[in-house]
Amino acid sequence: MFSNQKLFISTYPFGKYDKHPVELLEQAGINFTINPLNRKLTAHEVLDFAKDCTGIIAGTENLEHLVSESKNLKFISRVGIGLDSVPLKLCKEKGIRVSYTPDAVTLAVAEIVLGMMITLPRHVVFADRQIRSGGWTRPVGISIQSSIIGIVGLGRVGFKISQMLASLKPKKILVCDILDKSKDIKSLRTFGLDIEQVSLNSLLSFSDIVSVHVPLTPLTKNLISKDELDQMKKSAFLINFSRGGIVDESAVYESLKKNEIAGLALDVFEKEPYFGSLIELDNVVLTQHMGSCSYDCRLAMESQATEELIRFFKEEKLMSEVPDFEFENSPT
């Protein structure tokens, strides 16, 4: 049925924990190849593997070279929500359609961030490192109940985290967003939350835990840099599970080294895999861009991306095509 279509799956892993997405492609009769290197591909590698393909199921790989040079590519199905790796304006110019899976990741990311809001300020990882090297200092930290929580970006994930925090009864939640979030805040107050939308400066100045949940755009590049870090309490903790490049890695390294903030949890980096200087510091928890890495979340993302691609090849209505405003906000 689709013998004239060629698909490359650049995301890794794909079908590793559940074969359902692969089975969907096999049942549809689509000619596909899965990333053979079992790691994140470079932009040049994506081009080499996918230059003759009409469709690609992609993760966070940089697709700029592929989109720029391919003469056959017609559709990109993004496993996940971030679009900073997709040159949307160039896609529009070349008539390449793009879909993503924005709802599939919400719960998994919210869960791991909530866990980090407990783990980081209670020094759990530090205690683990210390006990393995013979230490035993029983560090004391702050609780959610005693904390003001700052949520930068009240989108899907920010809203879900706020909702989940209700049972832990934080002292207050401060929200910063470029959009008016009064309706969402009204909804969240029904859970008993003391929650308010404020400026970024106010959020940074008063929060004990700051969690970042915005996309990477020209407006959010280095959103949290030296000036912003200087506004935070010395006792405050910073968490970023959104995109690398939103928190200035060099600036936050200096702040942490000088104990100008208390700690950092970082799941996303400007360059991945990460080998930078933050690994030197004890008041940092680093994870491997794994916010969406739960079995059910991964299966949902891969399945939804696959189903969308099959709909495209069948010339059916797409269910999760990237909306126009994302193209308008894209730098490329």
Q: What is the pLDDT of residue 31?
A: 95
**Among candidates 304, 330, 310, which has minimal Cα distance to 2?**
310
To the query of whether residue 20 is one of the catalytic residues in this protein, the response is: no
Does one domain contain both 75 and 155?
Answer: no
Does one domain contain both 177 and 301?
Answer: no
Domains in the chain: how many in total? 2
Q: What is the pLDDT of residue 332?
A: 65
What's the CATH code of the domain at 147? Answer: 3.40.50.720
Task: Given the residues 65, 78, 213, 289, select the one marked as catalytic.
Answer: 289
Q: What is the pLDDT of residue 4?
A: 77
Does one domain contain both 26 and 165?
Answer: no
Are the C-beta atoms of 297 and 108 separated by less than 8 Å? yes
Q: What is the pLDDT of residue 326?
A: 86
To the query of whether residue 213 is one of the catalytic residues in this protein, the response is: no
Q: Is the pTM of this model over 0.85?
A: yes
User: Could you give the CA distance from residue 174 to residue 264 in angstroms, rounded to a whole number?
Assistant: 19
Q: What is the pLDDT of residue 250?
A: 98
Q: What is the pLDDT of residue 2?
A: 65
Task: Given the residues 243, 249, 298, 308, select the one marked as catalytic.
Answer: 243
Regions of the chain where pLDDT drops below 70: 1-3, 329-332
- The answer to whether residue 1 sits within a structural domain is no
Task: Given the residues 23, 69, 93, 272, select the one marked as catalytic.
Answer: 272
- Judged on CB neighbours under 10 Å (0-12, 13-18, 19+), 44 is exposed
Q: What is the pLDDT of residue 328?
A: 75
- The answer to whether residue 193 sits within a structural domain is yes
Does one domain contain both 124 and 67?
Answer: no
Are the C-beta atoms of 159 and 214 separated by less than 8 Å? no
The range of the structural domain enclosing residue 69 comes to 6-104+295-329
Q: What is the pLDDT of residue 325?
A: 84
**Among candidates 261, 264, 273, which has minimal Cα distance to 246?**
264
To the query of whether residue 289 is one of the catalytic residues in this protein, the response is: yes
